[in-house]
C-alpha cells in the first residue's frame, strides 16, 4: 500500500468540560473520496479545525505527505496542499465574485516565484488564472454573478463560491465541511461530478462532511462516522449504513 496522504493520530479537543473530539485517528489514501458523517454536535467540524490547523488540539498529531504538520499554521498547511472549506463560508463580501476566486490563486508559492523572476511569465500566469477563474465560475453556475459583490450572494451560492476559491489553490487534499448545505440538488450533482473528475484527472483526495445519506452513499468510497467526539465506524458506505452502532448513534443523537 502507498503511504497515506493524511495520517491523523489521537486528536483530542476539549472545550471546558466537554470533549468535542476524543482520541480520533484515521488515514486517507491518495485519490480517495471519504465522507465524514455523524449527528449534530458529534465533533466533525472541530476535527476539521484540528486537522487543517485552525485550532490547536489538546493532543494528537497530523502528518501530511509523510511530514509532521502539527506545529504548522493553517496557512502553512494550505501552502503544502491541504485546504479546507468552512461550514459557514468566508468570502470577502466587498470584493466581486470574480475577484474572490482570482485572489485565491495569488498566494501560491509558484505564483510569487514566477512573478518575481520572470515578469513576462507572470503576465502569462495571470491570464491563465483569469481563464481558470472563468472556468470555475462556469462550472459552479456563478458565471452570471461574476461582477456582483460576494456579499450579495445567496447562502447556497456562497457555498459554491467557497468551493471555487479553494480549488483555485490546486490543493492535493480538500476538506469540505457541508459543501452542499443550501445548494440545490442539480448543482450539488454537478459539484460532485467535478469532485470525481478532479480525483480521476489529478489524483486529488477529498474528505467531506455531509448530512444527506443519499449523497454520502452515491459519492464516497469510504465513510467515517463520529458520535459524541469519537470515531465509531469506518468502512465502505454499504457496510457502515448497516452498522448497528451507527444506526444507534443517529437514533440516540436526536437527528
Ligand atoms: N468554540 C467552541 N467552544 C465551545 N464548545 C464548542 C466550540 N466549538 C464546538 N463546540 C462544541 O463541540 C461539540 C462539537 O461541535 P462541532 O461543531 O464539531 O459538531 P459537528 O459534528 O460539526 O456538528 P454539526 O453537524 O451540527 O455541524 C458541540 O457540542 C459544540 O457545542
Ligand atoms: Mg459542523
Pairing assessment for the beta strands 230-235 and 222-227 based on DSSP bridges: antiparallel
Contact between 233 and 224 (Cβ < 8 Å): yes
The answer as to whether 186 is a domain residue is yes
Ligand 1 binding pocket, CB closer than 6 Å: 15, 18, 20, 38, 40-46, 87
What whole-number distance in Å separates Cα of residue 168 and Cα of residue 129?
8
What distance in angstroms lies between residue 47's CA and the mean position of ligand 1's atoms?
9
Residues with CB under 5 A from ligand 2 (ion): 44-45, 87
Q: Are 19 and 12 in contact (CB under 8 A)?
A: yes
In ligand 1, which atom is closest to the CA atom of 48?
Answer: 18
Domains identified in the chain, total number? 1
Question: Tens digit of pLDDT per residue, the chain (255 long)?
Answer: 568 999 999 999 999 999 999 999 999 999 999 999 999 999 999 999 999 999 999 999 999 999 999 999 999 999 899 999 887 777 788 899 999 999 888 655 555 555 556 666 677 778 888 999 999 999 888 999 999 999 999 888 998 999 899 998 889 999 999 988 888 888 888 889 889 999 999 999 999 999 988 899 999 999 999 999 999 999 999 999 999 999 898 876 544
Q: Does residue 140 belong to any structural domain of this protein?
A: yes
Confidence (pTM) = 0.89
Q: Which atom of ligand 1 is nearest to the CA of 87?
A: 27
- Whether residue 1 lies inside any domain: the answer is no
Q: With respect to residue 135, please indicate whether it lies within any of the assigned structural domains.
A: yes
Which grid cell is 19? Answer: 470533549
Q: Domain containing 206: what range?
A: 6-252
> What span, in angstroms and rounded, lies between the C-alpha atoms of 66 and 55?
21
Task: Calculate how far, in angstroms, residue 20's C-alpha sits from the geometric centre of ligand 1.
Answer: 7
Kindly give the distance from the C-alpha atom of residue 91 to the centroid of ligand 2, in angstroms, as a whole number.
Answer: 18
Domain at 154, CATH number: 3.40.50.300
Amino acid at each position: 500500500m502507498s503511504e497515506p496522504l493524511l495520517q491523523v493520530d489521537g486528536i483530542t479537543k476539549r472545550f471546558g468540560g466537554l470533549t468535542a473530539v476524543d482520541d480520533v485517528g484515521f488515514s486517507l489514501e491518495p485519490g480517495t473520496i471519504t465522507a465524514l458523517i455523524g449527528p449534530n454536535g458529534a465533533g466533525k467540524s472541530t476535527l476539521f479545525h484540528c486537522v487543517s490547523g485552525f485550532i490547536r488540539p489538546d493532543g494528537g498529531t497530523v502528518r501530511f505527505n509523510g511530514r509532521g504538520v502539527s506545529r504548522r499554521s493553517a496557512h502553512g498547511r494550505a501552502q503544502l496542499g491541504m485546504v479546507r472549506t468552512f461550514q459557514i463560508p468566508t468570502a470577502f463580501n466587498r470584493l466581486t465574485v470574480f475577484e474572490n476566486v482570482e485572489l485565491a490563486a495569488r498566494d501560491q508559492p509558484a505564483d510569487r516565484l514566477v512573478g518575481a523572476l520572470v515578469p513576462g511569465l507572470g503576465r502569462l500566469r495571470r491570464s491563465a488564472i483569469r481563464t481558470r477563474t472563468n472556468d470555475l465560475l462556469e462550472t459552479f453556475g456563478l458565471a452570471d454573478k461574476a461582477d456582483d459583490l460576494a456579499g450579495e450572494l445567496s447562502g447556497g451560492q456562497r457555498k459554491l463560491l467557497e468551493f471555487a476559491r479553494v480549488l483555485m489553490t490546486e490543493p492535493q487534499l480538500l476538506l469540505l465541511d457541508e459543501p452542499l448545505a443550501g445548494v440545490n440538488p442539480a448543482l450539488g450533482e454537478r459539484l460532485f461530478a467535478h469532485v470525481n473528475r478532479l480525483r480521476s484527472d489529478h489524483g486529488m483526495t477529498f474528505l467531506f462532511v455531509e448530512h444527506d445519506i443519499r449523497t454520502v452513499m452515491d459519492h464516497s468510497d469510504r465513510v467515517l462516522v463520529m458520535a459524541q467526539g469519537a470515531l465509531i465506524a469506518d468502512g465502505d458506505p454499504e457496510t457502515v449504513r448497516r452498522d448497528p452502532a451507527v444506526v444507534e448513534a443517529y437514533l440516540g443523537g436526536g437527528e
